[in-house]
Amino acid sequence: MPQLAVEFEISNNELRLVYRPRDDTNWVRERFERGDGLLVKGTFRLTPQDLVEDAADEAARASGDGEIQWVEDDRLVFAVAIADGEYFRFKPEVLGFETPVLLHRDAQPDWKWFSAERRVSILAVIESLGLERIVIGGPDPEAIPIPEYTRLLKQLPTPHELRRYVQARVGTVVRQYTEPSIDAEELLNAYVGRRTTAIAPNLEASFRQFDIAKYDFALQRLQSMLTNEAGPSEAQWQLEIVEIILLLNPRYIKAFTEVRLRDEDASTWRRIDILLVDASGNVDVIEIKKPMSKPIMLPTLYRDHHLPMRDLIGAMGQVTHYLRHLNRWGSTGENYLTELLGPQLPKGFRIRIINPSGIVIMGRSNTLSDAQRREFEVLRRDSKGVVDIVTYDDLLARLQAVLDQLRGGPAVSAAPESPPSE
């Protein structure tokens, strides 16, 4: 098996680089005699001061005549890192930058740990990211785990990938004027997809316990409210429920109560109970009614159909009128609402009235029969897009589902290839 041009070994508390040039070592000595350094793999800047072993020179001294002898393993050995506790600390002058680089002593590196294709220093690339120090492996809290580091190495671009990338960039321009038979961008994405593994960053992990406590509290609070719905006033009930709605719908950043709305038909002003504002400034209307322990659908039949309770029809009609007035108000309403609500929104925020939708929160669905539930779903789906009807049992189920998912693990996972039963 041929010996590698660059290997690493540990000796005398040093990490040493073993270099075997393709055409013996004479030319390296000549460079050193001229005062020039040696750059290996575009990464390691070596000088005579780093040299700790010269096989040919030692053979010459052993022969006694001072002549360079042929040796079976013509190699030069350089000390590139010094032991520092559980780590080897690389010499800054060897790497060409001052940022400390520590490699755990249990690591078993080869030259690909430090040098990418086309003689690019991987450590120099990491250093360019502005880190205070680079630690690979071991118990240090800032260390890159060795499995993750080796996974990174496998994902570095190969010469073939670089050619694919250039082809894709050229193809992007060419496609503006003609239609090539080869989709270079698709070929690039397919190649990169085979070589790399996408890993969800699991950003929520640090906050999961907090989120569990938050949603658990909201669930218990809603259950308590439904047990004693006669306690709080209608206004207090609305304020508490709208906070749960904001919790379940993070797209909304603010809710405003008692918002003035212009009714052009009657040339007067009306008031929206609650106006929701999303992160883009778009507004929606929400109507919240106490459930009063009433099912959302009437138990009696009318021509073989269950009808929604009258309060639901009234709430839907009320919200529909609000939406109509908002749409007719247009840019004048946007300017008015921006001026009215702007001080309580982020600086420069602008209210937008673009096809607002409505939400009605009311009633119970836990006691509906199958027939009533079917009729209710027909009503809900027919009105969806204009008015979304949500029962209090829907809210309970959504909070419970969020809690179950948070307790179950990360929010993003790869789908299995086949069901477990197969």
Please write the tens of the pLDDT for every residue from 250-299: 999 999 999 999 998 888 999 999 999 999 999 999 999 988 777 777 77
Q: Which helix (H) or strand (E) holds 81?
A: strand 76-84
Count the Cβ atoms, other than its own, within 10 Å of residue 9: 10
Per the document, the length of the chain is: 422
Residue range(s) in the chain whose domain bears CATH number 3.40.91 = 208-408
- The candidate with the shortest Cα–Cα distance to 284, out of 331, 236, 249, 238, is 249
Q: Are 88 and 103 in contact (CB under 8 A)?
A: yes
Integer Cα distance of 123 and 96 in angstroms: 10
pLDDT attached to residue 14 = 94
Please write the tens of the pLDDT for every residue from 175-232: 877 778 888 888 878 877 777 766 666 667 778 888 899 999 999 999 999 888 877 8
- Phi, psi (deg, nearest 5) at residue 105: -70, -20
Q: Where are the alpha helices (DSSP H) in 297-348?
A: 310-341
Please write the tens of the pLDDT for every residue from 353-404: 999 999 999 888 888 888 888 888 888 888 887 899 999 999 999 999 999 9
Secondary structure (3-state) at 87: strand
DSSP code for 147: H
Do the strands 305-308 and 358-361 form a parallel or antiparallel pair, or are they unpaired?
Answer: unpaired
- Choice among 71-75, 80-84, 93-97, 345-349 with the minimum mean pLDDT: 71-75
Bridge partners for 255 per DSSP: 276
Domain at 208-408, CATH class: alpha beta
Integer Cα distance of 371 and 120 in angstroms: 70
Integer Cα distance of 35 and 90 in angstroms: 23
Integer Cα distance of 103 and 84 in angstroms: 10
Q: How far, CA to CA in Å, does 284 sit from each of 318, 348, 360?
A: 13, 20, 11
Please write the tens of the pLDDT for every residue from 3-59: 778 999 998 899 999 998 887 788 998 999 999 999 999 999 999 999 998 866 665
**Banded pLDDT at 422 (limits 50, 70, 90):** low
Question: Tokens at residue 44, please?
Answer: 């390691």
Displacement of CA 205 from its chain's centroid (Å)? 12
pLDDT attached to residue 68 = 52
